[in-house]
Amino acid sequence: MRRLTVVQLLPALHSGGVERSTLEIAAALVAAGHRSVVVSAGGRLVAALLAGGSEHIELPIGAKSLRAFATMRRLRAQLAALEPDIVHARSRLPAWLGWFALRGLPAPRPRFVTTVHGLNSPGRYSGILCRGERVVCVSDTVRAHVLRHWPGTDPAKLQVIPRGIDPAQFPRGHQPDAAWRARFAAEHPALQGGRLLLLPGRGTRLKGHADAIRLLAALRAGGEDARLWLLGAREPGREAYLAELEALASSLGVASALAISEPRSDVLDAYAVADLVLQVSNKPEAFGRTVLEALSVGRPVLGWAHGGVGELLGALYPAGAVPVGEHAALAVAARVLLAAPPPVPVTMPHTLAAMQSATLDLYARLVSV
């Protein structure tokens, strides 16, 4: 395949699944000898992007303001200079700006690709992500969501490319070293000595932290010495929400068996010491990377059976899938998985390499049309 120039559009490069996917595709493009350019407002991941051989153009294409039209014209000028083969938009406002910018370029224009990373709210604003010549859906759940809420979308241009993980980064049977275990014990004495439940996720209500605390209370009331680690929930600006969670834990009598910590980079070690990983988001999620990461390490996963999480659990670990909102069933399933968890799959079907390969193949087929 000839050398391509691919421009990816997203609001910023701070953290999150969209940002991670952007860097992963950028790395694959560079490795394959293509030119990779990312346009965003910048962020802490720019350094990693540049270190991997990509280019970055700083534009506030995710800022909702009256200056968006001027930003679109600046984007059009950048695209005219770059002469890309593919423009790949990964978020709604960047997609709108990219779409209008491309319409002002002379033919032949770059091919326009979009990715639907989430279960976006129905309506015209979100519908821009259905206007790509090819529309990547990160799960079958997302594809069904698109066809349900934007029924005019041509199903033939939708392509499901599941997000993936690198199994080498989440190796089966990993064990933290003694130094890590000592630090962990010193940092979180409340988590020592019992069966550890782990819920990794941001400090937002949709992650279901309250459901996890209620599960902890149910298990302890039944005689299980369970402990709960809410990893990543303690974030700046979330103080009121954290106080609410701590008050709930106190009212249920489980505050002494709970730890709420900041985001941290050693999530592999966290998975390894957990007896059970939870994914109990109270709203359906588009994919559910936590499920894959935990299962890859060899840890059982328990979650609500909806959205992308339910899709993955149903396919890979049905014993961990519980109907949404059935708290008694969640507690029963947790007891079973803590006592005698079924074996987890030996290999993960959704790998990073597969995701990268499928995306680059999509680019190649599109430019050859």
Residue 1 pLDDT > 80? no
Report pLDDT for 348. Answer: 85
Tell me the average pLDDT across 27-48.
97
* 5-164+351-367 shares its CATH topology with 167-339: yes
Tell me the average pLDDT across 339-363.
94
Tell me the average pLDDT across 110-138.
97
Residue 17 pLDDT > 90? no
CATH of 167-339, one of 1.20.120.1200, 1.25.40.20, 3.40.605.10, 3.40.50.2000: 3.40.50.2000
Are 51 and 13 in contact by the 8 Å Cβ rule? The answer is no
Cite the DSSP H helix spans in the chain. Answer: 17-31, 46-51, 68-82, 92-103, 124-127, 140-149, 178-187, 209-221, 239-251, 267-273, 289-297, 307-316, 327-339, 352-367
Residue 101 pLDDT > 90? yes
Tell me the average pLDDT across 73-92.
98
Token digits for 81? 């200079």
> What is the C-alpha to C-alpha distance for residues 174 and 301, in angstroms, rounded to an integer?
16
β-bridge partners, 259: 229
Task: Summarize pLDDT for 149-159 with one digit per residue, the tens.
Answer: 999 999 999 99
Q: Does CATH number 3.40.50.2000 belong to domain 5-164+351-367?
A: yes
CA 4 to chain centre: 27
Residue 16 pLDDT > 90? no
Residue 198 pLDDT > 80? yes
Token digits for 345? 């799959």
> What is the C-alpha to C-alpha distance for residues 139 and 308, in angstroms, rounded to an integer?
7
Strand stretches in 239-331, DSSP E: 258-261, 276-279, 301-304, 321-322
Report pLDDT for 65. Answer: 87
Q: Where are the domains of the chain?
A: 5-164+351-367, 167-339
Task: Summarize pLDDT for 297-311 with one digit per residue, the tens.
Answer: 999 999 999 999 999
Task: Summarize pLDDT for 254-278 with one digit per residue, the tens.
Answer: 999 999 999 888 999 999 999 999 9
Which of 192, 216, 360 minimizes the C-alpha distance to 273?
A: 192
Helix (H) or strand (E) holding 180: helix 178-187
Token digits for 188? 């979180």
